[in-house]
A and B are shown apart, each in its own frame.
Chain A
Amino acid sequence: MNYFPDEVLEHVFDFITSHKDRNSVSLVCKSWYKIERYSRQRVFIGNCYSISPERLIARFPGLKSLTLKGKPHFADFNLVPHDWGGFVYPWIEALAKSRIGLEELRLKRMVVSDESLELLSKSFVNFKSLVLVSCEGFTTDGLAAIAANCRFLRELDLQENEVDDHRGHWLSCFPESCTSLISLNFACLRGEVNLGALERLVSRSPNLKSLRLNRAVPLDTLQKLLMRAPQLVDLGIGSYVHDPFSEAYNKLKIAIQRCKSIRSLSGFLEVAPHCMSAIYPICGNLTFLNLSYAPGLHGNKLMKLIQHCRKLQRLWILDCIGDKGLGVVALTCKELQELRVFPSDPFEAGNAAVTEEGLVLVSAGCTKLNSLLYFCQQMTNAALITVAKNCPNFIRFRLCILDPIKPDPVTNQPLDEGFGAIVQSCKGLKRLSLSGLLTDQVFLYIGMYAEQLEMLSIAFAADSDKGMLYVLNGCKKLRKLEIRDCPFGDSALLEDVGKYETMRSLWMSSCEVTLGGCKSVAEKMPTLNVEIIDESEQMEFNLDDKQKVDKMYLYRTLVGHRKDAPEYVWIL
């Protein structure tokens, strides 16, 4: 139904930026589909194997920004073998051959080779922005190619990647003519950088707003950089170690005071706690503080720092902050929306750094809290119920009790009631990760109440297939389900195979599903790729359908079996 000329509709669609909305728009009618696809500039692909680059290019010729995700989430925790897949090269190759004027590429959990980076840097004249999160496979040589060839580069953002650092001069490869940088984040690099080149680069980048340094950048260089870039909004400090009586430290204090725009602070990869007072002047404006890589900062120094941060909205911290420190957060950070507490010593049980008490304190003090990642020693039902009452706005609730099957230490009961309270109270909950001793009951609650739930992570939980069934039947908006070490078997898996087509992916490892069950799913649902990942060569010896499958990963796809799977991945 078209009452307007195409150009008008196109103009209207320009205001629709969310991927979901644009997808909906394209489904209205053929003409809207056509207009939408020609005007679409940003595409998000949550699973790089769900579609092929050729089809993407064919549908969206005006593509400028592409986001791709590769490996399943559990790859972060070493559950997916190294060369499982997620290679970006074919994408870049295909895009390079086409007439797509790619400007932005954002990758997560993908394998990025130096060749890919080089090809990327040479193929797209207007390439502006490269964001790599949790990727691997490249070295600083690849970065050198990006620096050297992307003449209009605005953003180079490397987050938590495994980079083989050749200690080359990749920073020096930015030509003198490159003055367009807005964001530079190389905090994850472990090697030395050419400090002089870095200083010169920052000096000639007047638009630089975000700068995150790695450990190799010492305090006196930091001071020089800040003097040259007082307009920074986001700062990641590398090494923060110096004698508090030194000249460099005094200069740093002055430099920091000039940086009135800093709203986001991270890093402190090496830190001398007695030097923190220099930071206090900017703390009052901070909205994001990430100290999760700074184990050297704890105790009173840490608390004092936090007491200065009254406007904080997002806080990422290590559990050495302790329950007491979380109490300080609760009193100080009234605007807090997101809290992540990471373990500083994940394998040392008994260092009870944070417990349920800290979480309760934060929930009481920070009522705007909507996103939580919390690693703790223990949790009680009572605490969870209190948290649910205090903070009904949770969108993301990820709780990780370090002992995965630990019950409520006070009542010795499973944590079903606690999590049940969370899902019941937080009507907008989209992401949930469970831990602790859990029975089928918690899944009943999830199925009943978690209507908006999109992603669920389960480990070492449940008593029977019923658990999985409650979830599959109840959570209508479920997109990603990842399960490990639960007693879910074929009857749960096969109950409603059609459901998997409404989801992005399902991961099940160390469960009770058998080869036969997986084959059954694959047979019934040709639009799913059902992958069996088994490195033990067992699959070759024993093709018995009753064999339990170690790892199964299934996902919907429009392009059938992928061709780049390694030997130990069997696509049914």
Chain B
Amino acid sequence: MSPPLLGVEEEGQSRVSSPSVECISHNGLGIRERNYLGLSDFCSVDSSGVPDDNGNNLNLKATELRLGLPGSQSPERETEHCFLNSGKLDEKTLFPLLPSKDGICSSFQKSAVTGNKRGFSEVKGTIYTEKKWMGHGAVPDSQSLQPVSHGKYSVAQASVKKDGPANVVQEQPCTSNGTKVNRTDISNNSSAPTANRAQVVGWPPIRSFRTKTLTTSSKNNDEVDGKPGPGTLFVKVSMDGAPYLRKVDLRMYSTYQELSSALEKMFSCFTLGQCGAHGTPGKEILSESKLKDLLHGSEYVLTYEDKDGDWMLVGDVPWEMFIETCRRLKIMKSADAIGLAPKAMDKSKKDC
């Protein structure tokens, strides 16, 4: 299971800035390097054997606080991965690794996985309260609370502030639970506001509409490698012999046919160029239909690398399953595609 772990840590590190504020507050220092270590500490804390009880507490706490939490996908996953690192099978059931779609049936799933429904200020309210607990130092497992709030924080920081009735309803239980604690810590807060500045309600002063819209936008425009959002799914497409790669958004298409046509158009220039360079037999001008033949027919085969790192032939599984597992695409020469496409074996090994 090492690749996923590595993947997690990379992802975690790519998120170094998110819990950094958290770490500043806990350590009381403003040194950024510290935070970086603090972050990896976080992940390793989870991956080293966290005692069952703590793990469960983490889990349950996370569930409680998460109910209806709006959040972006990536931090969700990160937290999920970290929890999984502690090797809890229960967590798997609570946090299934399905990419969330808007139409998720089970509401529990919704709240646990997507967390797309809860008001940001609720989380803030809870983190705020948690922070108070830590500030008091009266909480026995402050250590275990730390990672939770880290997790909370990384969820919260990308989560969306939401005005809405749900807000008020859910805020009340939180604040009433921590009322007394809130009180004293508000005054503490004003004298020692260095703690947890980004967890404070209403700071930075950005309209909740803007925060929500930007969260959706950044999901859609996310082109970072291997970080697909629900809106887009960009994967690299390479072609044998082409000088550079392209990227396609798999969510733009709904069938293999559409993908195939798009790729044809994208790579037509390379095919033409290539054939020109090698001197196509005959002076035929390559038309789109010829191109199709090239791709569909003998010369090229469309393959993809799936989550497990295996190269598979495109077209075997249903489209939806395909886009979930596809990591990159490759337009291979059929000669190289032996073992993938039975057709390819029959074809000659001519270049273009």
Contacts and interface: CB of A to CB of B under 8 A. Distances in A.
Interface stretch (A255-263, A281-289, A291-299): A291-299
Contact of A344 (B200, B214, B220): B214
Interface string B65-103: 000000000000000000000000000000000000000
Interface of B is mostly: helix
A276 interface: no
Contact of A347 (B164, B198, B218, B265): B198
A295 B221 contact: yes
B210 interface: yes
A15 interface: no
B209 interface: yes
Given A347-B21, A404-B193, A271 B221 contact: yes
Interface in B191-238: 191, 193-194, 197-198, 200-211, 213-214, 216-218, 220-221, 231
B209 A134 contact: yes
A74 B207 CA distance: 9
B221 A548 contact: no
B204 A346 contact: yes
A79 interface: yes
Nearest to A163: B209
A389 to B, nearest CB: 27
Interface stretch (A61-69, A465-473, A516-524, A531-539): A531-539
B116 interface: no
Given A160-B210, A404-B203, A485-B193, A344 B218 contact: yes
Given A536-B182, A537-B176, A349 B168 contact: no
A188 B209 contact: yes
A293 B213 contact: yes
Contacts of B175: 535-536
Interface in A256-312: 269-271, 292-296
Interface in A184-239: 188, 190
B123 to A, nearest CB: 11
B160 to A, nearest CB: 11
B120 to A, nearest CB: 7
B163 interface: yes
B239 interface: no
B189 A510 contact: yes
Contacts of A375: 204, 206
Q: How large is the interface on B (under 10, 10 to 19, 20 to 34, 35 or more residues)?
A: 35 or more
A350 B189 contact: no
B167 A295 contact: no
A160 B156 CA distance: 22
A538 B186 CA distance: 14
B111 interface: no
Contact of B168 (A404, A459, A512, A535): A535
A510 B189 CA distance: 9
Interface in A351-377: 351, 375
B193 A460 contact: yes
A542 to B, nearest CB: 10
A486 interface: yes
Nearest to B206: A346
A157 interface: no
B17 interface: yes
Contacts of B204: 343, 346, 375, 400, 402, 404
Contact of A342 (B176, B191, B197, B206): B206
B187 A295 contact: no
A461 B190 CA distance: 9
Contacts of A535: 168, 171-172, 175
A81 B172 CA distance: 11
Contacts of A536: 172, 175-176, 179, 182
Contacts of B172: 535-537
B205 A550 contact: no
A254 to B, nearest CB: 21
Contacts of A293: 210, 213-214, 217
Contact of A350 (B35, B163, B167, B183): B35
Contacts of B213: 188, 269, 293
A338 interface: no
A349 B198 contact: yes
A411 B52 CA distance: 48
Given A296-B221, A484-B202, A548-B183, A342 B168 contact: no
B17 A349 contact: yes
Nearest to B269: A245
B203 A459 contact: yes
Contacts of B262: 243
B190 A512 contact: yes
A416 interface: no
Contact of B205 (A162, A271, A400, A537): A400
Interface in B8-43: 16-18, 20-21, 24, 32, 35
A190 B102 CA distance: 14
B156 to A, nearest CB: 8
Given A79-B202, A548-B183, A349 B24 contact: yes
Given A344-B214, A348-B18, A405-B193, 6 more contacts: A76-B207, A293-B213, A348-B157, A349-B20, A349-B24, A536-B172
7 contacts: A78-B163, A82-B163, A344-B218, A346-B211, A348-B20, A350-B17, A550-B186
Give the 8 A-B CB pairs with smallest separation, nearest first.
Answer: A296-B221, A347-B157, A77-B202, A350-B17, A348-B17, A160-B209, A349-B21, A79-B202
